[in-house]
Structure 1
Amino acid sequence: MRTSRKNILLYLFSFILVIYMSYLIFGGVAKRNSLNKSVEYTDAVIVDFSSGPRMRCYLDYKFFVNGKAYHGSGKYYSKSDTLSIGDTVVVVYDRTNPNNNKVYRDYK
């Protein structure tokens, strides 16, 4: 009986993991495709720098579309970048959903 319960839990965990991984993969592909179809370019102002998992550095930026502010973040290469808070960077965003955005150099 215990083996059966363990097997059920293992199958359930595996199923949930597959669903989650599929969501991550296909969700990312859908965002990328939407961005490619409706891409717009604008300048954004760097408002902060932050660090994420594995001590990776990110730049946080803000830009405006039709008077509304949007935020995003992109990779910051601390060894080669000479960016400061207040500098501008080019960002790309989805015309239909400006929350789907990234720094132009990460988009290429």
Structure 2
Amino acid sequence: MQVQYKIWLEKNNEQVFGEGLQKLLSAIKRLGSIRQAAAEMRMSYRQAWGHLRTAEQRLQMRLIETKVGGETGGGTELTEEAGILLERFERLENTLEPLVEDLFRQIFPD
């Protein structure tokens, strides 16, 4: 037997950040493209934009900056605030994982 759990952040009783947005922002950060991030996550470009817009409205902050193509090509980057939010969420997740595992082993020793 093993323990499973999910972590998300809420604001005004609405989910504002969770696993889905974490994965989307991580992929955008790594790939520099909403379209490529959406494809990697097997979601449509429209769905990805919808998730981003909803999160931006609920958080009341911009998460991404898009650049129109040109000589260097277009692309998408995370805002500084989004990068901080992503890093803090991942730090929270990484801190909680061993704690939850330890508690599980204490409460369910067999």
Shared topology, TM-score over 0.5? no
Structure with more strand by fraction: 1
Structure with more helix by fraction: 2
TM-score (norm. length: structure 2) = 0.24
Structure showing greater Rg:
1
TM-score (norm. length: structure 1) = 0.25
